[in-house]
Every structure is written in C-alpha cells, then in structure tokens.
Structure 1
Amino acid sequence: MGHIFLAHRSYSFEEVMSGQWHESDPYYAACLSFCQEWLNGKDFFFQLTSGSTGKPKSIQLGRSQMIASAQATSDFFNIKKSPRLLVCINTAMIGGKMMLVRGMLWDADIYITLPNARPFEANWLQLDFDFVAMVPMQVAASLNNARDLKWLCQIDKLIIGGASSSPELISQIQDHNIHAYQTYGMTETVSHIAVADLSKDDLIYHALPSVKIGVNASQCLWIEAPMALERHLQTNDIVTLETASSFRWLGRADFVINTGGVKVHPEILEAQIDKLVKEIYGPIKYFVAGETDEKLGQRIVLIIEHASDEKKEYILRMQLKENLEKYHVPKQIYAIEAFAYTDSTKINRQKTLSLCGFNQF
C-alpha cells in the first residue's frame, strides 16, 4: 500500500487507517482524518459547493460516485500502478479531496502540502510527480520562477481547475511543453467530468469514459454520469458540441450580457482582451460584466483588480476601441483594489460587483 508524505514525516496507509497518527496542524489533521474515514470504508461525505455562482451549499456525495470519478480519470489518463501524486490544492474543496481519493484508490505515494502559490518552493517537494492538480494561480507562479519551472515541466500529467486558464497562461504552458489539461466539472459531478488538452490550439473538452453529454434547447450542457449527483444533471453552461463526447465551452448562461439586443459571452470577451489588459496593467485579475442601462438594457463594463489609474484606464479604453467590435467595447472601467474570492480561489463575481456599488448585473 502507499504512503502519505507531509513536510515533517510520512504515514503508511495502514497507520492512517488504524489512527496511528497525530498532527497539530489543523490542515494536515483534516486531510488525515478524511483519509482515515475513507480507508475505513465510510460511505457518504458532505461537501460544500464552491459558491462561485451562488451561496455555497452542503451536498452529500456517495463513496461509489467518488470511486467512479477516480476510475474514469485513471482510465482517461492511463495512470500507471502506484504513481506519485502531489496534493497542493485546498482539500476542503472537492478538487483537493478527490486528489486524496485518487491517491488512495491508485495505491499512490501522496505528497500533501499547504495550498499556496508556489507548491515547489519547499525542497522536499522538488520531485518528479506523475499526477498533480493545480489552480491557474499556482501554475502562473511556478512558470515565473526558474527553480519551480524545472519541476513543473517534469510533471507527467498536470490538471488545472478551479478557474479557467487565461490565453497568456496557456501560451506559456505550450511554450514549455508542459503536459497540462484544463478540467471541466463541479462539486455536483465530484470534480471533473471532461478535460481539454492545453497543448492543442483549440480548447476542446473531451468527456471522461462513462460520461454522456448533450445540450438542451438553450444549448446548455447536460451530463449523465455515474459520478454525478443527479442521473440527468442540467448545467447552466452554454456549449457547442464538437462530437457526441466533446464540446467547446462558451460561458455561463447567467453571465450572458444582452446589450442593445446583442448577446455577449463575458468569458469569450475576456479571452479576447486578455493580452491588451496584461500589456497595460501586468498580470492582474479582471472580468467583464453587464450593468443595467436604460437605453441598451445592459451595458458592458470591465472590472479590474487594481488601484484607480486614470492614465492606464484611458490607454486601455483606446486599445479596446481599436481592437473590438462596437458592441463589445466596455462602456466603463471600474477599478477595485481587492476582489472577493471563493474558498477555491475563484473570483466571486456577484460579491465583487456589490463592492463596486451595483445591484443589478
């Protein structure tokens, strides 16, 4: 059986299962407690949703769902026997928790570290890993540090989730030939049900084995899978089907902006302006939203995580007008020094917008 490695010591699965461990750090203690429950056959677990599109809620996940998810991931990536896994994302969220489950089911050596921006900063984690899950912020930080980059490039399979990877980040991943995949999923599907190979020019998501997909009349994705919370799970994500088992993600239906009768997907527009924003402001966070407007119904606005800077805002407005179609140009740029985030590091758009003083978007 495998082992669980922490910064200061390691435990065999047998030791964890029998309770032969003691950790004073609450994060590591919570990880080991979950692993102990899993190894002893607990059937159900309660998990909070991320809260990125609404108030977080607690849902019950079954052991069989989690096993089905781990098996589908293993089959898709052809995971070898007894791999080495790095768990560097928050295990309080479903993505991190499923990394622990995968490790235990795959008889892996599981290396657990506190979730921070640079997972490879600690010397004891400078190893070759077979399977790692990271959020975009961690990948970006590792790419910008020469020592971290070395170990990032040596990961056999890297999955990136929690938020979308920016075009700039994808370009850097491709430049360094990193074996990375963007994931699509949610708590209700026990982490990802589809992945997109970031070495490809087109971001096409391919469903995992045993996952069936389709769209409703509004072109929103539905999922039927053994790991899903419901037999037929209807999402609010607008997609275009490429094949019976693959799709291109366009954005969330509840984020769509109707400006003067023209429907705009903020996520697509964000990708189009990414280079322009980064050239002027550097690697900041930002997003596009729709503000209530008497004439247009909604007008497009850009929210940036930055102190107000009239000169930069003017330059960006000019660049946006030169490079975007008329109805896609943000009518206003709002600068806010600190966004609101969920526990899984996603931008909480609704809460951030309320910080700007708007009630309707």
Structure 2
Amino acid sequence: MIIMGKIIIENRTYTKTDLLQGHWKEADPYFHQALTFCQQWLQGNQSFELPSSGSTGAPKDILVHRTQMEISAAATRDFFNISKGSPLLCCLNTWMIGGKMMLVRALEWEANLYLVKPSENPLLDTPTINFDFVAMVPMQVSACLANGQSQAILKKIKNLIIGGAPSSPALIKKILQEDIQAYQTYGMTETVSHIALAKITGEELIYQVLPGVKIGTDAQQRLCIQAPMAGSKTLQTNDLVEMVDDKSFKWLGRSDFTINSGGIKLQPEGMEPKMAVPFERIFGHQNFFLYGKADEKLGQKLVLIIEEQRIQEEKEQELQEVLKTLFNRYHLPKEILYAKAFIRTPSGKINRPETFKHCL
C-alpha cells in the first residue's frame, strides 16, 4: 500500500497532517523554510513573494498568486501523466521558483517527495529509488552523468526536466548517448516555472508550449507570452526566438546579451554551440562564454571567457585557427580572457557581467 502525500527528509517522514500542524523539529534552516512553505500552502495562503531571475527585466521580488501555481502544477501533471503516490525528488533550491514548484507539485499531486539540499551531484545523497519526476539544473545533470553510481540512478528517472539555464551542446550530446529521458524547460518566475518543454531527442531543441499558453514575438523577435499560470497580463521577455508555428519555437538567446561590435550585431548564445566541439577538443571540459567588452573603436568587442586557472597561449592560438574556418572575421573573438571560477546565480546560470569583472 502506497501512503500518498509525504515529504521525506533523510529518514524522517512528514504527512500532510504533520505539515499542517507544524509537527516537525528540523533545526536545519534550509529544511525548516521548505517545510514552513508547505505548511503555509496547506493552510491556504493565497500569495507568495519570490525572487525573479531577470528574464523580463532586472531581477526583483515578485508576488505570485496561489492560483498561478496550481495551474502550473496541473499542467505539468497532465503533460507527464503523473499519478498519486508517485516518487519525486526535489534537489533544487526551494527559495527559488523551481524548488518551490516541486513542493507545490508534491502537495497538489499527493506524491511522495524526497527532499535533499541542492548540491552539484544530488543523486549521491538519495535512496536508490526509481523516481517518476525530477527537476535539475544543467550543472547537476552533468555531475550525475560523470559519476557511475549517480548515472545509473539518473538513467532510471522516468521524467527528468532541466531548467534554470540552457544545457550545453556537450551535455545534450551526453544525454543522447546515455538515452536519458529528459526535457529542457523554458520558463521564469513570472510564468511560475515552465510554460514550454523541449524533449531532448536531438541537438536542436524545439519547445512546445503547454496547453492554454499563447506565444508571439515583437518587432525585435523577442518572445511574448500569454499564459494562465502567468495571470492575465502579457509578458514581454528578453529572449530572442524563432517561431516554428503558433505552439512551438526555437530559443536563440538573450537580447540583452547581444553585442554591437562596430555596427555588427552578434548573438553570443547562438554562436557558443557552434564553438563547443572545437573548444572541447582543445581545452577539454572547461566552461566558456562570449561577452562584449567596451572598446573605443568598435563600441564593444567580442571576447571569449574561459573558466581556467592559468593562461593557455598555445591552446588559444590553436582555437583561433579553427574558429577562422567556422566564422567570418566579424564573429571571431578579439581577445581571450580567463576567470578562475565562474560566478553563478542561485538558479545555476552563469552571471556573465559579474564573472567578466573577475577575469584575469
């Protein structure tokens, strides 16, 4: 017999009655705040203040209504056909919308949620269970694939959704090689988690919107969203997309990362996947990104930033020669910089401006 609607933390189990009545003694602040949110949800709180990621503007705290979260949870349940009593894993930061929505899904779906602290490889801290539904950021998926024990658990997850940041071409390739049942998500705090999903079946991702979601673009090719989980307002994002049809799109990158170099507009997030294969062959599995550095002559010049402890001049030269065969001269990095450790946002995205400030 499956007992439905539980939150499991290590060897402690909390039922809905426990949560509603506050019957827990979690001294750890992280678990305490997560269980407090569950209690507030079960008590019927109608709104929650959450930090946004900045997809529709500067990061800020926004007010999310209960109805929005209920609609989002129902759409995801119906898409994946999740049944009552299903085992779920929450390994995301429950201060953010991704982790909060895992708590809501568990409570609304009457599922059994295993809650662990977010870590680079969360599957090393979980029981050996065939989870029906798990959400991770790309960094976590990559770490799980690199470890034999966690990779075996990952391959048994029925539905894995990946969000918070785009998956790199190298990660997508590994997911395909290992036959992981995974979906890349598109969403933000304002849409209360994802409003579109792209099943990872090839290197090119095409996002399909959830039922009830309407999409379009403005004059700059930026995505506009009307979705019941976003409330009644139309959201104007900073994401550049290519519309496939009125229900699907390809994500091209962020408009606010566009680099204007001498009048030539460069979209770094569209260029980075093309660079990934030769970069990995020369530099290995180091992280990198393209950025616009202020320049007196060009306004901005394209620079390549690599997560590396020391300068690699020979590898730089080799990479530049290869890139000349892939890009025209306007799209070649004018300089290569290094950062000892990339700075990331709470949701796992690389904070490009802050990382740039700490380059060698």
Instruction: State the TM-score bracket (shorter-chain normalisation).
Output: over 0.9
* Equivalent-residue separation in structure 1 for 2:214 and 2:61 (angstroms): 25
Q: In structure 2, do the counterparts of structure 1 residues 53 and 44 end up closer, same or farther at CA, with 3 Å as the change threshold?
A: closer
3-state secondary structure, aligned to 1:192: strand
- Give the percent of matched residue pairs that are identical in Structure 1 and Structure 2: 51
Who is 1:256 aligned against? 258
CA contact (8 A) 1:237 1:250 kept: yes
Post-superposition offset of 1:52: 7.8
Post-superposition offset of 1:225: 0.8
**What is the identity, as a one-letter code, of the residue corresponding to 1:99?**
M
CA contact (8 A) 2:173 2:203 kept: no
3-state secondary structure, aligned to 1:177: coil
Who is 1:351 aligned against? 354
Post-superposition offset of 1:82: 2.5
Who is 1:111 aligned against? 114
3-state secondary structure, aligned to 2:230: coil
3-state secondary structure, aligned to 2:179: coil
Equivalent residue in structure 1 for 2:35, among 24, 32, 37: 32
Q: In structure 2, do the counterparts of structure 1 residues 118 and 196 end up closer, same or farther at CA, with 3 Å as the change threshold?
A: same
CA contact (8 A) 2:172 2:203 kept: no
Who is 1:18 aligned against? 21
3-state secondary structure, aligned to 1:74: helix
Who is 1:76 aligned against? 79
What TM-score, normalized to structure 1?
0.94
Per mean C-alpha deviation after superposition, the further-off stretch among 296-305 and 238-247 is: 296-305
**What is the identity, as a one-letter code, of the residue corresponding to 2:226?**
E
* Equivalent-residue separation in structure 2 for 1:297 and 1:109 (angstroms): 54
The CA deviation string for residues 280-300 of structure 1, in whole angstroms up to 9 with x for no partner, is 222222111122333333221
Who is 1:342 aligned against? 345
Equivalent residue in structure 2 for 1:58, among 54, 57, 61: 61
Who is 2:214 aligned against? 212
* Equivalent-residue separation in structure 2 for 1:259 and 1:55 (angstroms): 24
The CA deviation string for residues 119-138 of structure 1, in whole angstroms up to 9 with x for no partner, is 1113x422100000001111
* Equivalent-residue separation in structure 2 for 1:52 and 1:146 (angstroms): 35
Post-superposition offset of 1:356: 3.7
**What is the identity, as a one-letter code, of the residue corresponding to 1:343?**
P
3-state secondary structure, aligned to 2:124: coil
Equivalent residue in structure 2 for 1:297, among 296, 299, 319: 299
3-state secondary structure, aligned to 1:263: strand
Q: What does residue range 152-301 of structure 1 map to in structure 2 within 5 Å? A: 152-228=154-230, 231-301=233-303
Who is 1:126 aligned against? 128
* Equivalent-residue separation in structure 2 for 1:116 and 1:348 (angstroms): 18
Is 1:90 matched with 2:103? no
Post-superposition offset of 1:55: 5.2
CA contact (8 A) 1:153 1:176 kept: yes
Give RMSD over aligned pairs. 1.7
The CA deviation string for residues 215-247 of structure 1, in whole angstroms up to 9 with x for no partner, is 111111100011115611111111111011100
3-state secondary structure, aligned to 1:116: coil
**What is the identity, as a one-letter code, of the residue corresponding to 1:207?**
V
* Equivalent-residue separation in structure 1 for 2:359 and 2:85 (angstroms): 49
* Equivalent-residue separation in structure 1 for 2:72 and 2:249 (angstroms): 19
**What is the identity, as a one-letter code, of the residue corresponding to 1:105?**
E
* Equivalent-residue separation in structure 2 for 1:234 and 1:12 (angstroms): 40
* Equivalent-residue separation in structure 1 for 2:344 and 2:202 (angstroms): 30
* Equivalent-residue separation in structure 2 for 1:24 and 1:99 (angstroms): 22
**What is the identity, as a one-letter code, of the residue corresponding to 2:14?**
Y
* Equivalent-residue separation in structure 1 for 2:302 and 2:351 (angstroms): 18
Post-superposition offset of 1:319: 2.3
3-state secondary structure, aligned to 1:21: coil
Per mean C-alpha deviation after superposition, the further-off stretch among 200-209 and 216-225 is: 200-209
3-state secondary structure, aligned to 2:93: coil
* Equivalent-residue separation in structure 2 for 1:349 and 1:165 (angstroms): 16
**What is the identity, as a one-letter code, of the residue corresponding to 1:69?**
S
3-state secondary structure, aligned to 2:130: coil
The CA deviation string for residues 139-188 of structure 1, in whole angstroms up to 9 with x for no partner, is 11111111111110111100001111011110111111111000011111
* Equivalent-residue separation in structure 2 for 1:225 and 1:232 (angstroms): 8
CA contact (8 A) 2:244 2:250 kept: yes
CA contact (8 A) 1:321 1:329 kept: yes
**What is the identity, as a one-letter code, of the residue corresponding to 1:333?**
I
CA contact (8 A) 1:340 1:351 kept: yes
Per mean C-alpha deviation after superposition, the further-off stretch among 11-20 and 44-53 is: 44-53
* Equivalent-residue separation in structure 1 for 2:335 and 2:232 (angstroms): 41
Per mean C-alpha deviation after superposition, the further-off stretch among 287-296 and 142-151 is: 287-296
**What is the identity, as a one-letter code, of the residue corresponding to 1:314?**
Q
CA contact (8 A) 1:52 1:346 kept: no
CA contact (8 A) 1:51 1:342 kept: no
Post-superposition offset of 1:80: 2.5
3-state secondary structure, aligned to 2:252: strand
* Equivalent-residue separation in structure 1 for 2:10 and 2:284 (angstroms): 34
What TM-score, normalized to structure 2?
0.94
**What is the identity, as a one-letter code, of the residue corresponding to 1:129?**
F
* Equivalent-residue separation in structure 2 for 1:70 and 1:79 (angstroms): 11
